[in-house]
Amino acid sequence: MLRWNDLVRRPAAPSGPELAIRWWAVVCLGLTAIFGSLAGCNSLPAPYGGGLTSGPHLGVMGYTYTQGQGSQGFAQPAPVVREAVLDAMAELRIGDLQQREVNGVLTLSGITADRRLAEVAIVSQPDFSLVNARIGSFGDRVQTRTLFDHITNKLNARERLAKAQRGQDRNSDSRDESELADSRPNRQRNRVGYDPQTDRASRSWEDEIDPLDDPNATDDLDDQDRDPEFDQRWRRARDLESRPLPPPTESDDISTRRDDDLEARPLPRPASDAATLKLGGTPRGTQPRTAPASSSRQSPWISRDAVSDDVMLRDVYEMGYQESPRL
């Protein structure tokens, strides 16, 4: 009787070499799959990576983390974002930085403090710059988010600094325009010190500046604003103030010596000359003073009603000194 087992030919058992070849083929296939997946994790797909194919047209895309890498868009040009990325990587102690650019994608790579590979790709778009980052072979969610936070802070600080600088420039320009507008309406007011309360110019020679000597003087004024008569008087007064005093003359010296002699002259003794003065005479050692020819009365310098001789002598001396002619 024919059996089924006799009809079906059983395959022969593999020999030792064939079995070894089969096992080595399986091992190589597994290693190829493993290393291929690792290489794919370490490289960032261009241009976007992580399955992102488009971004908003308004300029900024929020932070996302997919497949071990983070992505975020910034409304800044690629060179500005590159500087912010370099500063952020330096703060996170990512060293050995290398830069390469392939097909318009700028890639920055470095080594972290725990010896892991960190890569950042910057893709320039019309309205924004897209940044993709991966840290480690399989990604690090916490470290990647920290890196993007540092990049955002750097860009915000640059934007605030730029706004403050533009505000200062705008304020300085407006201040310069206001000062120039105040100096243009009337040149005479600008020179002599205009008083808005009285609507007049106080002509103080000390506060004025010669327009020829003033380095800030403007020449964009019309001829109708110029006052030739005032300019002439102003220059004359300035020349008089700057002119040195003349040397003292001989008459001034004689007058000064005469005044000094009168001040240093001692008073006469009242005890011995009191009777002479009462009788209309002159004290000893002094020149007689004569009254006018038309007057027959007693000398006006002698007081008959004096209380004492001392008071009378003092009055005589003071009146004689005040009425003494100057040389």
Which tens digit of pLDDT belongs to each residue from 45-72?
444 333 333 333 334 678 899 888 999 9
Q: Mean pLDDT over residues 113-141, rounded? A: 89
Same domain, 164 and 196: no
* pLDDT number for residue 118: 92
Q: How confident is the model at residue 36 (pLDDT cuts 50, 70, 90)?
A: low
Last residue of a domain, one of 183, 205, 225: 183
% helix / strand / coil in the chain, to the nearest 5? Answer: 45, 15, 40
Using one digit for the tens of pLDDT, what is the confidence trace for 277-288?
444 555 555 555
| 46, 172: one domain | yes
User: Quick one: 145 and 217 in the same domain?
Assistant: no
Same-domain check for residues 63 and 136: yes
Number of domains observed in the structure of the chain = 3
Q: Has residue 289 been placed in a domain?
A: no
pLDDT tens per residue across span 177-212:
665 555 544 444 444 454 555 544 444 444 445 555
Do 81 and 217 fall within a single domain? no
Instruction: Name the pTM for this structure.
Output: 0.40
Residue 162 falls within a domain, yes or no? yes
| % of the chain at pLDDT higher than 90 | 16
> Once rounded to an integer, what is the mean pLDDT over residues 146-171?
85
Distance CA 277, CA 270 (A): 9
Give the separation between CA 110 and CA 97, rounded to whole angstroms. Answer: 4
On whether both 138 and 213 belong to a single domain, the answer is no
Same domain (yes/no): 89, 218 = no
Asked if the model's pLDDT at residue 133 lies above 90, the reply is yes
**How many C-alpha atoms does 159 have within 13 Å on its Cβ side?**
11
Tell the residue number behind the tokens 């047209």, with chain if given. Answer: 57
- Express each pLDDT in 297-308 by its tens digit: 444 444 444 445
- The verdict on 47 and 88 lying in the same domain is yes
Verify that 205 and 231 share a domain, yes or no: yes
| 218 and 272 both lie in a single domain | no
**Contact between residue 93 and residue 163 where contact means Cβ atoms under 8 Å apart:** no
Q: Answer whether residue 8 is part of any domain.
A: no
* Model pLDDT for residues 214-249, shown as the tens digit of each residue: 555 555 444 555 677 777 877 878 787 777 767 766
pLDDT confidence of residue 323: 47
Q: Is residue 26 part of a domain?
A: no
Q: Using alpha carbons, select from 53, 186, 44, 46 the residue that is nearest to residue 119.
A: 44
Task: Give pLDDT, residue 161.
Answer: 86
CA angle 106–72–99, rounded 5-degree value: 20
Q: Note the helical H segments in the chain.
A: 4-7, 16-42, 78-91, 141-183, 187-192, 228-242, 250-264, 270-278, 309-322
Say if residue 327 is in the same domain as residue 200. Answer: no
Q: Verify that 205 and 145 share a domain, yes or no.
A: no
Q: Is residue 119 in some structural domain?
A: yes
Instruction: Decide which of 205 and 162 is more confident.
Output: 162
CA distance 228 to 226: 6
Q: Residue 320 is part of which domain span? A: 267-284+298-327
The residues that bridge with 109 in the sheet, in sequence order, are 98, 119
